[in-house]
A and B are shown apart, each in its own frame.
Chain A
Amino acid sequence: MIEILPDIDFKKELKKSSGSSLSECMQCGTCSAVCSLAPDDRPFPRKEMIWAAWGLKDKLAANPDLWLCHQCGDCSTYCPRDVKPADVLSSVRQIIYKQNARPAFMGKLLSKPALLPIAILIPVIIISIILLLAGTLSIPEGPVNYSKFFPHAWLNGSFSVITLLVYGMATIGFVKFYHSIKSGFPEAKPKMSLFKSMIQVKIEVLRHSKFTDCENKKSRTIAHFLLFYGFLLLLLVTLYAIVAVIIEAYPMALTDPFKIIGNIASLMLIVGLGIFIYNRLFNKSTLGNSNYSDWLLLISIFLLTLSGIVVQFARFGDWNLAYHLYFFHLVCVWFVIIYLPYTKFAHMVYRFIALSFANRIGRK
């Protein structure tokens, strides 16, 4: 039994960000019926649509179902009233990134287009300060060697520390999120340990099995698959690179197996991103409206990958602008990696938490 207290401002905000006239939903349930991922018991997204239309913010915040959705867009395609449940769910998820952001101002910083210049200035200033402290804030002479510009120890050290610091604070928000979805199911009995559930979900994520359940968008599955594994491979290569700095000659040659893997992974990212961007630009009818956070994520990863590749060429080609490009690349790294808990990229964490919880209580 819930006491109904509509939050009309929340409803209006949601209406604006999703671009969906959610009150025009006639509650027929076509969306839930066509969804291939909705659980049998209290399926989404109809109840979420009604919560949204009723301005029930807390119900939405404590809802793991939002994260079971893989946004294939079937609900929006089949809606007889042209309401866009997929967009509404996506908007709610963004509100949740913002709401659970710790420190809270980071959520605001990365959800408002007007604050983008500040979001860019922060890494520019901080990286400049680090360089200043390292005493290398100038363009080195001779053949391009990035470590002369940003010594590896300083780079790896500072970025690791900042990342850990940010992730540490963000974790407070993640834990809060876990507790809030748990409170949404007070009567639920766990069917397995959280650890076991997380392992199962991890396997599911690695296999992209939920994506393949969303039948109608093959290109999306492929794109996400490429992006996911491209990113994973690059992460491994980067970690290796940090170690490599210590144990072998750095920078690596272009023929080094790790370099080859890294470049293949970059290519995977470019192709995957290309599909995503194409779909967002030209398949609006099925994918729904794209908003700021969709584009922020896509463009920042795209620029990160592209600048990574360019920076590499700049090194081999001894370009004049190599160090400037390298600086830009580092800002991109900041955007994607350090801002992760506050951008749409955080979906990997929230989704993982929600799926692990849902899997644990057997909600399928």
Chain B
Amino acid sequence: MEKKTGVYICSGCEIGNCIDVEKICKLAAEEFKVADAVIHPALCSVEGYDLILENIEKNKLDSVLIAACSPRVKTDVFDFPENILLERVNFREQIAWCYEPNDEDTQMAAEDYLRMGITKVINTQIPQPYLAENLSSDILVVGGGITGVTASLEGAKAGYKIHLIEKDEQLGGRANELYKMYPCKKPFTKFHEPFLDDLADELKTYENVTVYTSTQIQKISGEPGNFDVELINGSTKKIKVGSIVAAMGWKPYDANKLSHLGYGKSDKVITIQEFEKRVKENPNLKLPEKVLFIQCAGSRDEKHLPYCSNYCCSTSLKQSQYIRDLSPDSSVFIVYKDIRTQGLAEEFYKEVQKDDQVFFTKGEIDEVLVENENLNVKVKETLLGEDISLSVDLIILATGMIPNGTEDLNLNYRLGKGLPELKYNFSDSHFICFPYETRRTGIYAAGTLRAPMDIAASRSDAAGAMFKAIQCIEATKRGEAVHPRSGDKSYPELYMDRCTDCKRCTEECPFGVYDETEKGTPLPNPARCRRCGICLGSCPERIISFSDYSINSVSAMIKVVEIPDEFEEKPRILAFVCENDAYPAIDMAGTKRLKYSPYVRIIPVRCLGSVNKVWISDALSCGYDGILQIGCKPGDDYQCHFIHGSELTETRGENIQETLQSMMLEPERILTKFVEITDYHKIPEIINNYAETIEEIGPNPFKDM
């Protein structure tokens, strides 16, 4: 369908002083015969915006191209009716603020960006959301411990119907094992009674909560808004939910692996769990005179758990007070690596410190000697200036937590029954950028399943995960993506006639969007999609597209750039730049007025993983001299918003090198760089160095062919 596009060029913010906007305007009108082309000194002003609105009316436009500031800014200003396709060209951050004013190369860049913008408008459509029928707004909470119960309460309070599944006979999980809870509010001297009963009672007051005890999950299939869950409790029961909170908790580290700390050698060496149990069973327990707590027993230790479990310091402090209360003459020694009492637990720590008979030192346990009935502990690296030897009557090991597996979710996904895990078997959820989000859209990990934490932290985590689950339900109802492309209505559409069942998309999708038939034909679940476009990048048959992001739209943008012939000595570098970190970094370089080569032409991509090989061969046959890919850092502590999108550039790299070889081109024609959003200062270096490399290897022989 022919588009009626209006092109609006802003000459404010130095743009008008840097490039010949008249010429650009003429280019739009003459080369592309757009319906309307106007220059304005400040498009973001009320007058500017009104002018665009008027012209939309007057010229019956269906699309608008704004050549002004970066598409990342002023999104609230440039907000048009839903039926208007909006595209923005970055004349400010990526031209006026980083290139020489009134220079021939700057003008050429601006003209090319305008061509690319108009071409994109011509080749894309306004996304029509994926709206499935009979969507459920119910939420499944898996695990009836503190986290699960809290999440259920939060969801119920927000008015959603909650199904809470617990595999044991009663709710409570690990909290059932507690004698007391350490204080998390003033005064920090009083222990809390385990408040699980209160929570369970409160839960009963909500009619929209159904609790299933002694129940397990047989199968979960479907997608957000439409998860089919089969529960088993003697008989099978089927329910439908919109999203899921997984709160399956933790278990203590196996103390049998801690024989170097005396565990198993004497019944006077126990864990904090065992001690808690003893006191719970007999609150008037007779306790020995001298007790030693060994912190980080098997934690922060490469041979055992390399991480801090967060709850053990506070728990030992709590138990030290059980001992001191039960026998006032007792002395408690605490040997720690660091006392880590997070949040308000620090206040509790300060209270315990006031006790004259609790003795602290940092130290490493050198040896635990068990002779007859005596325990003697040698401690090195202490803060007392020398090694010490302690004779005690009881040793309590503060063991860390390991997450329960998530296999019990029994996900009917091609990529496995459980949630993908990252470090140390915790369910992957990016700890800074998107906590709770797992790689299974609509399923949110909460509490100790995703990171070691104490009860207070688990409770706030439960609320966070529940709100994510609610967000997901609502977004799914609108046919929109969840984080990080929140609100995106596009989704992958597959032209199945040409599918060869190669399984690339099903394998490479980080989010398990694609199930497959026995033959291997992909079965998409669009509501699971995060819209990264990795499948689009993976498909050798180029059958996957989004209505506003497709093989064709990007190919056309690549091809519309004017490539000067080799005698002009103006090389062209095509840069595929990840929208999440790299593109903002380039904008920031502009904001800081850092200059870089004007020979580069930037195309933002949803993720480096969405770059299809065909774009590269298109670019090379068009005569671009080099291709630069800039994306987020891959690896274990990844920054990639789509988990392993940028990593795929490496695995796909071989294929691409084959393409280069078959075209008889140098391997340096393609370069991939990883940056963080704060690496804006590296941008000029990356681009300029690559421009130099390209000048060294000379022009692409395909120019003018």
| A interface list, Cβ under 8 A from B | 1-4, 6, 8, 11-12, 15, 21, 23-27, 29, 42, 46-47, 50-51, 53-54, 56, 59, 81
Contacts and interface: CB of A to CB of B under 8 A. Distances in A.
Given A23-B356, A26-B339, A53-B359, A2 B389 contact: yes
Interface string B344-386: 0000011001111111111000000000000000100001111
Contacts of A26: 339, 349, 353
Given A1-B378, A4-B389, A23 B358 contact: yes
Nearest to B333: A4
Given A4-B359, A4-B388, A81-B350, 11 more contacts: A1-B386, A1-B387, A4-B391, A6-B359, A8-B331, A23-B356, A23-B358, A46-B383, A50-B384, A54-B359, A56-B384
B390 interface: yes
Contacts of A42: 385
B356 A47 contact: no
A11 B385 contact: no
Contacts of B361: 27, 50, 54
19 contacts: A1-B387, A1-B389, A2-B386, A4-B389, A4-B390, A6-B359, A8-B356, A21-B354, A23-B354, A24-B354, A25-B353, A26-B349, A27-B362, A27-B383, A29-B383, A47-B383, A50-B360, A50-B361, A54-B359
A51 B388 CA distance: 12
A54 B386 contact: no
Contacts of B333: 4
B389 A23 contact: no
Given A4-B390, A24-B350, A27-B361, A47 B385 contact: yes
Contacts of B360: 27, 50, 53
A220 B213 CA distance: 73
A3 B333 CA distance: 13
A21 B358 CA distance: 13
Interface residues of B, number: 25
Given A21-B354, A42-B385, A51-B384, A3 B391 contact: yes
B667 to A, nearest CB: 53
Nearest to B349: A26
A226 B561 CA distance: 85
A83 B447 CA distance: 36
B350 A11 contact: no
Contact of B384 (A25, A29, A47): A47
A6 B361 CA distance: 13
Contacts of A21: 354
B384 A8 contact: no
A21 B355 CA distance: 10
Contacts of B350: 24, 81
Contacts of A12: 356
Nearest to B350: A24
Contacts of A23: 353-356, 358
Contacts of A81: 350
Contacts of A4: 333, 359, 388-391
Contact of B383 (A15, A24, A50): A50
Nearest to A44: B385
Contacts of A3: 388-389, 391
User: Closest 10 A-B residue pairs measured CB to CB?
Assistant: A47-B385, A42-B385, A1-B387, A24-B353, A54-B359, A4-B390, A3-B389, A23-B353, A27-B383, A4-B388
A232 B391 CA distance: 52
B388 A2 contact: yes
Residue of A15, A21, A27, A51 most packed against chain B (CB within 10 A)? A27
B151 to A, nearest CB: 35
Nearest to A24: B353
A20 to B, nearest CB: 12
A38 to B, nearest CB: 12
Contacts of A25: 353
Contacts of B391: 3-4
Contacts of A24: 350, 353-354
Nearest to B351: A24
A1 B383 contact: no
Contacts of A53: 359-360
Contact of A8 (B353, B357, B362, B386): B357
B160 to A, nearest CB: 44
A305 B333 CA distance: 51
B362 to A, nearest CB: 6
B484 to A, nearest CB: 38
